[in-house]
Structure 1
Amino acid sequence: MKERLEELRNEALEKVKKAENVKELQDVRVSYLGKKGPITEVLRGMGKLPAEERPIIGQLANEVRESIAKSIEEKQTQLEKEALEKQLREETIDVTLPGRPNTVGGPHLLTKLIQEIEDLFIGMGFEVAEGPEVESDYYNFEALNLPKGHPARDMQDSFYITEEILMRTHTSPVQARTMEKHEGKGPVKIICPGKVYRRDTDDATHSHQFTQIEGLYVDKNVRMSDLKGVLNTFAKKMFGEDREIRLRPSFFPFTEPSVEMDISCKMCHGEGCSVCKGTGWIEILGAGMVHPNVLRMAGFDPDEYNGFAFGMGPERIAMLKYGVDDIRHFYINDVRFLKQFHHA
């Protein structure tokens, strides 16, 4: 039995020496030191030996085990070191090569445009106000001179959640809420950017969700000429100093008198073309003097205070400013489209 153990030791050490990788080394470990290996089989036959030989054979078997295990461990350390050295040789980094530039994104075109409009009006003394997108019927309609059953409600096809709760159809409720907070004391000078929701038809100029920016200025002795001056400054800063504006009579339930503002067409400079449909003008936003009923419901005395309001769609502003022909381009997240405006 001693001879068999010595023979197994020599065989194992020879195979360890010849192993070329860690996998072959592990195969040697399993073959000789595993539960079904030859050394274990030798030990199982120790019961047939005389009692005085058993300790000797047991000690020898442990020495053989330790010798093989030690040899495997040393060989594994050597193989791992050689593998690491080979990897370092093959994966040498040339630090003199130029670096690869990182792709840097930019703000969405609408986000950038809204920030630009905000900065413009902040420069004219306005503050930015926000409000909930899920709104009550009162603030969305009634507080804006649109009582239940008013025919002008049909102008805004709404997403109702309950009979009294809906997705806001414009940012005008923010104006009503802000005026209430002032408790009948001016001035109130705000712009209200945000998302709005309407059940509009699916075409190139409408979407069920879009953005609006509305403005409000309430104080004593506010005149229509003040409104025209603000809108004229906006048009020239946004579209160019050569842009002209005109105000046309219109109707909005929450303003009286109400106007539509047009800007001169930048393509034909007012002479008439396909872009402006031959008129020389392009409609850009709606505005007017705040209706006395709206002031009264917000707690202001219309005999003492008056004001003006205006509302625009950033999507329409962007379409006109950058020549975008379909509002849906802003929302399909096509990187090819968005990348065009990173440096606009």
Structure 2
Amino acid sequence: MIFVTGGAGFIGSNFVLHWLAEHGEPVVNLDALTYASGPHNLAAIRDDRRHVFVHGDILDRALVDRLLAQHRPRAIVHFAAESHVDRSIHGPEAFLRTNVEGTFTLLEATRAWWQRLPDTERRAFRFLHVSTDEVYGSLEPDAAPFTEASPCRPNSPYAASKAASDHLVRAWHHTYGLPVLTVHCSNNYGPFQYPEKLIPLVLVNALAGEPLPVYGDGRHVRDWLYVEDHCRALCAVLASGQPGATYNVGGGNELGNLELVQRLCALLDELRPDAAGPHARLIRFVADRPGHDRRYAVDAGKLRRELGWQPRETLDTGLRKTVQWYLDHPDWITRAKDEAWQAWIARHYAPGTA
């Protein structure tokens, strides 16, 4: 049995589905079901007895204590987090609460339970913390990608909260001996991603004939990682990673935001043509967000060398799969575009639309 936090969100739900399909080991899944997550992401395993879903918060210490005692997991995979930079700028408190206080609560519950385990179980246990490349800060255009030894220089409230959680995880290993593993991933994309992030936002807006917002000059560069490749990396780290170690996971696909949006539009033109004309006609430049990091990229060489992982999807194949998934799931899009989502889009983008 493994214990997953945040397993109804984007990356978490993809991981749970991948884990059960590839490994078959039962999962206890604790998720608070915030705006960006939902049981609909896990509809394919609704009746699967290997999946135990619990609606609850990692800040609820009594609940976490009870779940650990009841299910005795051999590992915890910690996804639960607030993860949207724009929302962290508007309201940083929620990010400090979930990402910092929540991780602290989970670590303390885990430590108390882990220390009571028999020696064999205690040595075999792992705590896998899923973090982000944004903790490293911004890269210059010609700089080498971040490595695991790069300094931590977060620039947004979101990145700062994740960096703080990374430091807590590291400290619980070095102070208490908790066998932790940390992964810093680049920008994920794929099925079930809530349409506040760039790729799903472009797709759902384009399909509705609505503006496609691009920040600033559109030249902000990200390294794009297909979510299933990330899930396979997490499985490899959980199985063979060195306790206390950090691993970068990147797709090796650096691309500017404007070029990415243009590629998505071209795919939609091919797969779902619009009688009104090319989807790129909908692109609108909007005011840049405060403190917008110019470039992210990570060197995943350590993961390849030590654990034999490498991405299976190129950016072309991954984007095509992603576009097709959103085209094939209009009900999911309708559910995601609820009143709260519409209010967020109107608040965040309308004033700055060029």
TM over 0.5: no
The structure number with the bigger radius of gyration is 1
Q: Which has the higher contact order (CA 8 A, sep 6+)?
A: 2
Query: TM-score when scaled to structure 1?
Result: 0.24
